[in-house]
Structure 1
Amino acid sequence: MDATQQPRAEAGPECRRAALAALGEEVGRALPLPDEGLGETLLRRAQAQPAAETEEDRLIVRFGTEWRSFIRRQNPDRLTALDELIDARIERRALARFYRRMKHAAVAVTVTAFALAQFGIDRLPLVRQLWRLLRGDLR
């Protein structure tokens, strides 16, 4: 077999982990962490720990600059307002689903009523009995 016909070896977990570690180091060099921010003290503490914890796989996610600045701008008042907006949107969507179902039911009832009127209400015994029940004529 020459070099073009040799089977490729599958990349194992070690290769992926090494690639992710190298990528993380390069991103860390290119984008240094800011002074302080939400959760960045925990990141520094996790990075300062020795690499003796090999039995537990841990991934650290670093946010981009835009997300870090967005997280820093948040305060309790803004978070409360954001929670209220999310709750209002959930409520509006639930009401919209309810009204959509009601509209579909009203259309189905109207179409059925017109079809029964066109077909003739006295021709179906079940419909005749229901009509008598609705009128209050229980003979």
Structure 2
Amino acid sequence: MGGLVNAAPAGTIEDRIRLSPFHTWLDLRVLEADASQLRLRATWREEWSNGDSRHSTHGGIVAALLDLAADWAIACAGGQTAPTLDFAVQYLRAAKPGDLVVVGRVLKLGRSVTFAEAEVLDSDGETVAVGRGTYASFTKAAG
């Protein structure tokens, strides 16, 4: 990916991610961060349960994890997050109670629009959901 800013170290990205109270509540931890992908762990909470007898994780939590991982993957690849223009989620199976891992990747880093994707994995490593989004990109003016 030409024109990328050097990726920030994982600790720096985690510090930036955890500035958001929502991200802190999700207890997001960076497992891996470089220009090619971002891996995060989210610590499961009882409040995530959708109320069924299996305590499956609510789809809204899963969707939020997908969107934020894709967005922060953009930050790892290009140095800054970007507003979401559109995001689609495909739920593949219920997310049972337990920590979740979410992996975000940039598909195309553009000058005005960037495309990224993410997947959520349950504690057994099974893919729970995938998502793909379009993000507004901002290029810095020269000078």
State which structure, 1 or 2, has the greater radius of gyration over its C-alpha atoms: 1
Larger proportion of helix: 1
More strand by share: 2
TM-score of the superposed pair, with normalisation by structure 1:
0.19
TM-score under structure 2 normalisation? 0.19
